[in-house]
Structure 1
Amino acid sequence: MDNIQVRHENIEDELTTPLSSYQDPATLLQHLNQQHPQVQFTLETETNGQLPFLDVLVTRSPDNKIEISVYRKPTHSDQYIYFDSNHPLKTKTGIISTLTRRAINLSSNSPSAEIEHLRHVFTKFNHYPPKLVDKIIRSTLHPTRKEPTNKNEPAPIRITLPFIGKTSYHISLLLKQQAGIETYFTSSTTLKTVLKANGRNTSKQQQPPKGVVYKINCDCGEAYVGETSRPINIRIKEHLSSTTKSDRKSAISDHIIKCPNHNIIWGSVEILSKNHKDFTQRKLAEAVQIRRHKPSINRDQGYLVPTAYNELIKITD
């Protein structure tokens, strides 16, 4: 029993087969939700013989055959990157080819209706040239066979450049012709990344740190040390929510359940180290801080750090 490993996952969508006529789905749902308080299922039944699942619409025909097609939510706006937006042409045509391949893969019958919908959407709503749309759809429906590359040829040099319109194409052509260098474009700064809803520039506003190891103290003198790749304020809100709900999803929640008279000092969260983008590096930094601060609220000691490093970590008894 000591070697059992528990795997935690968040499953948002799952498709199951139809139940027999004598099986009550509500009874099955109740049975499943009674197995574990943190593993809960919901039930969605078909309406008019149809059931949406992700971007697939599953339809049951009168002869009980399953057919699939592309599904869009009623709130879908059919708005993609406008043709006159400042994006590389390959990005724009890539959207058309991707949605065309989706129409082919997610249609048990002919995808012609979905293809016509894409033509209408890109030409009328997103202002793409009709000839370009037809060309991309045709090449996706009837792809030409590519000649195999010679493995003995040296790999070309590839660089990435910010896309700034026609100038980027001129630079790319010159690099290809003069130096044999292939270029790829990245999108430049957009209004969304520069402006907030109130129109103020966000570049001067200090953002909560990410990739941090942090320490949360209790008024009893005990503490908790944890790590997160996300902004620290989001992780603290999760700890606070778990403590308020007493759902035991957080070690801090367990501590308050055991000691209801204690109070967590949410206003003085300490950042012990930050800028750890790499997962393994961040977990090791957490283990070092756990060894250093000896937080009694933690459920475990994190990654194993050999005792030979105690002097380096400056362990004090």
Structure 2
Amino acid sequence: MRKRSKYLTVEKKKVFICLPYKGETVSQKIEKRMKGAMKICFPAANQVTLYSTTCSISQSKLDKYPGDVTSNCVYKFTCICGSKYIGRTERRASIWLSEHILRNLRLKGSRYLQSAITRHLVDTGHFVEISKSFKILDIQRTVNLLRFVEASAIKRHRPNLCTQKESVVNLSLPW
């Protein structure tokens, strides 16, 4: 027959600790040391470790360069009627605007209306003032980050002129 313990046991309280994530091996070592110290100092506590990371998409200093010489950027077009479009370009914004918007508005025929912005301007007869209609939202160094920023901007702003593109990163984020 077993002897009963004289001491009553209670459930350990959960203590949440947030640590910066520094790679798998480093984080595991830190967590192990913290749990050891927690058992000695606070035996009635059960440590739950959470890891935080820094955002890899850095905020750019958008005033660093004029908008017309900026490349690798995500831009937003806003028409005078309120219609919006969000896109990205890896080329200088001035070259992209002159080739896709200005040239296509001068040419007639449906085969030149491949741009959603141009198609909207031709269909509605609206005029575009480039300095007011186009705004650079973000600048990134790599194409993958540029695609991600474009996809998140489309998800956030929900522009009505954007149609689903194959080149847009599919976001399955909780927000």
Counterparts in 2 of 1:283 and 1:243: CA distance versus 1, 3 Å: farther
* Percent identity for Structure 1 against Structure 2: 25
Counterparts in 2 of 1:249 and 1:307: CA distance versus 1, 3 Å: same
Could you list the per-position Cα deviations for residues 19-77 of structure 1 after superposition, in whole angstroms to 9, with x for gaps in the alignment?
Answer: xxxxxxxxxxxxxxxxxxxxxxxxxxxxxxxxxxxxxxxxxxxxxxxxxxxxxxxxxxx
Per the alignment, residue 297 of structure 1 pairs with 161
Per the alignment, residue 78 of structure 2 pairs with 217
Which amino acid letter does the alignment assign opposite residue 240 of structure 1?
Answer: L
Q: Which runs of 4+ in 1 moved over 4 A?
A: none
Counterparts in 2 of 1:273 and 1:214: CA distance versus 1, 3 Å: same
Per the alignment, residue 103 of structure 2 pairs with 241
Could you list the per-position Cα deviations for residues 235-288 of structure 1 after superposition, in whole angstroms to 9, with x for gaps in the alignment?
Answer: 12122222332511211111123222x2223122211001x2322211111111
Shift of 1:307: 4.0
Could you list the per-position Cα deviations for residues 190-232 of structure 1 after superposition, in whole angstroms to 9, with x for gaps in the alignment?
Answer: xxxxxxxxxxxxxxxx562211001111100111111111111
Unaligned runs of 5+ in 2: 1-64
Which amino acid letter does the alignment assign opposite residue 277 of structure 1?
Answer: R
> Retained in 2: the 8 A contact 1:229–1:277?
no
Which amino acid letter does the alignment assign opposite residue 76 of structure 2?
Answer: K
Unaligned runs of 5+ in 1: 1-205, 311-317
SS of match in other structure, 1:296: coil
Which amino acid letter does the alignment assign opposite residue 124 of structure 2?
Answer: C
Which has more strand, going by share of residues?
Answer: 2
SS of match in other structure, 2:164: coil
SS of match in other structure, 1:254: helix
> Retained in 2: the 8 A contact 1:224–1:297?
yes
Which amino acid letter does the alignment assign opposite residue 281 of structure 1?
Answer: L
Aligned-partner Cα distance in 2 for 1:286–1:240: 23
Counterparts in 2 of 1:298 and 1:264: CA distance versus 1, 3 Å: farther
Aligned-partner Cα distance in 1 for 2:128–2:154: 18
SS of match in other structure, 1:214: strand
SS of match in other structure, 1:285: helix
TM-score (norm: length of structure 1): 0.30
Which amino acid letter does the alignment assign opposite residue 115 of structure 2?
Answer: S
Q: 2:151 aligns with which of 287, 292, 297?
A: 287
Q: How does 1:98-109 map to 2 (within 5 A)?
A: none
Counterparts in 2 of 1:267 and 1:277: CA distance versus 1, 3 Å: same
Q: 1:272 aligns with which of 137, 140, 160?
A: 137
Counterparts in 2 of 1:243 and 1:272: CA distance versus 1, 3 Å: same
SS of match in other structure, 2:117: helix
TM-score (norm: length of structure 2): 0.52
Per the alignment, residue 119 of structure 2 pairs with 254
Aligned-partner Cα distance in 2 for 1:288–1:305: 7
Per the alignment, residue 37 of structure 2 pairs with none
**Number of residue pairs matched?**
103
Q: CA RMSD in A?
A: 2.1
Aligned-partner Cα distance in 2 for 1:282–1:289: 10
Aligned-partner Cα distance in 1 for 2:95–2:147: 18
Aligned-partner Cα distance in 1 for 2:127–2:148: 29
Counterparts in 2 of 1:286 and 1:230: CA distance versus 1, 3 Å: same
> Retained in 2: the 8 A contact 1:243–1:250?
no
